[in-house]
Amino acid sequence: MSSQREIRLSGFGGQGLITAGIILADAAIKEGKHAVQTQSYGPEARGGASRAEVIISDAAIDYPKVKEPDVLLAMSKEACDKYLCELQKDGILIVDSYYVKEVPETEAKVFSLPITELAREELGRVIVANIVALGATVQVTGVVGKEALEAAVLDRVPPGTEDLNRQALAIGFQLGCEQLAK
C-alpha cells in the first residue's frame, strides 16, 4: 500500500503560495517520489484568494486534485475559514497567527505560528514568509526531507536571494522544531 499525502497551501495573492507549492512538489520529486501540483487564484494580482495543492505519493497518482487534504496551511483568515471543513479530522492545520487570530474549532492538530511576524522581524522581508511557512510545514509533517526542500528552494528562488531564502528556511525549521517540542 502506498503512502499519499494531500497538502493545501492557501492564503491571498502576493504571499508566494503558488511558488511554495511548486517548490514542495519539486522537493518530493528530488526524493524520487511522485508529485502533482495544481493552483488556483483570483483575477487580482495581489490580495485575491490564492491556493496551491500538492499531492505527494510513493506510487503513481491517479487523480491530480486534492480531495481531502491531510495538511492545510492557511496564511489568511479567509483561507482558514473556507478550507478547514475539507481537512481530514486527524489532519494538521498550520495557520499564520499574524493573519489568523482565532482558529475555528477543529479536531485537527493545530499549529498557530508567527510566520509573517518572524519573516518581518528576523529577516526584514515579509516576501519570504512563504519559505518560512514551507520550512515549518516540512518540519511538522515530515512530508519531504529538509535537504530536498532546501535544494528545491535554492533551485527556484531569484539569483542573489539564496542566503535570504536559506535563512528563511532555517527559521521555519526552527519554528517547527519548537512546536513539536511543546
| 36-88 pLDDT tens trace | 999 987 655 566 778 999 999 999 999 989 999 999 999 999 999 999 999 99
How far is 182 from 177, CA to CA, in rounded Å? 9
Question: Residue 152: how many CB atoms within 10 A of its CB?
Answer: 22
Q: Which residue has the higher pLDDT, 179 or 29?
A: 29
Q: Which residue has the higher pLDDT, 92 or 46?
A: 92
Q: What is the pLDDT of residues 143-166, one digit of tens each?
A: 999 999 999 999 999 999 999 999
CATH code of the domain occupying 4-181 = 3.40.920.10
What are the residue boundaries of the structural domains of the chain, listed by start? 4-181
Strands of 42-108, DSSP E: 49-57, 71-74, 92-96
Q: Model-level pTM?
A: 0.94
The alpha helices in the chain, defined as continuous H runs, are 17-30, 77-83, 115-123, 129-141, 146-156, 162-181
The grid coordinates listed for 167 are 535563512
pLDDT of res. 1: 42
How far is 56 from 35, CA to CA, in rounded Å? 5
Strands 92-96 and 71-74 turn out to be: parallel
